[in-house]
């Protein structure tokens, strides 16, 4: 039985934010909230504004991080992104990505990144 440590989510988000910056993205907002839900990271480069859902799982978890992004979760992210774009219009192409961070004893050790995940 794997029990997820309380701090793995923020550690995973920090890991993904640093990775995105290395890929040339600027981090716009982290943990953007709307009445529909939350987007973990909003980032941009010269081409895209990217809405990133970060899922952090301890190595050996039963449900993969990607499987955890359900249709209902996707809908909430889309609605939240629409609200963000209404408040902060931009001409960039929106993209919805999923970052799956694997941890071992709470420390990020791997990343699977899915651009255009939905």
pLDDT at 98: 96
Q: List Cβ neighbours of 111 (8 Å cut-off, separation of 6 or more).
A: 15, 16, 19, 99, 100, 101, 102
pTM, entire model: 0.89
pLDDT on residue 7: 60
**Is the model more confident about 104 or about 33?**
33
The values of phi and psi at residue 5, to 5°, are -65, 150
Q: Decide if pLDDT at 53 tops 70.
A: yes
On whether the CB atoms of residues 55 and 69 are closer than 8 A, the answer is: yes
Q: How does residue 107 score in pLDDT terms, banded at 50, 70 and 90?
A: confident
d(CA 118, CA 29): 20
* pLDDT digit string, tens, across residues 4-31: 444 667 889 999 999 999 999 999 999 9
Give the Å distances, CA to CA, from 108 to 3, 5, 84, 104: 15, 12, 29, 7
């Amino acid at each position: 039985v794997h029990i997820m440590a309380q701090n793995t989510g923020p550690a995973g988000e920090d890991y993904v934010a640093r990775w995105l910056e290395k890929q040339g993205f600027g981090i716009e907002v982290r943990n953007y909230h709307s009445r529909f839900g939350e987007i973990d990271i909003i980032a941009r480069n010269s081409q895209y504004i990217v809405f990133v859902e970060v899922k952090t799982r301890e190595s050996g978890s039963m449900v993969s991080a990607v499987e955890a992004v359900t249709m209902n979760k996707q809908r909430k992210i889309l609605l939240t992104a629409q609200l963000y774009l209404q408040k902060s219009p931009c001409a960039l192409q929106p993209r919805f990505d999923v970052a799956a961070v694997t941890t071992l004893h709470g420390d990020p050790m791997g990343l699977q990144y899915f651009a255009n995940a939905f």
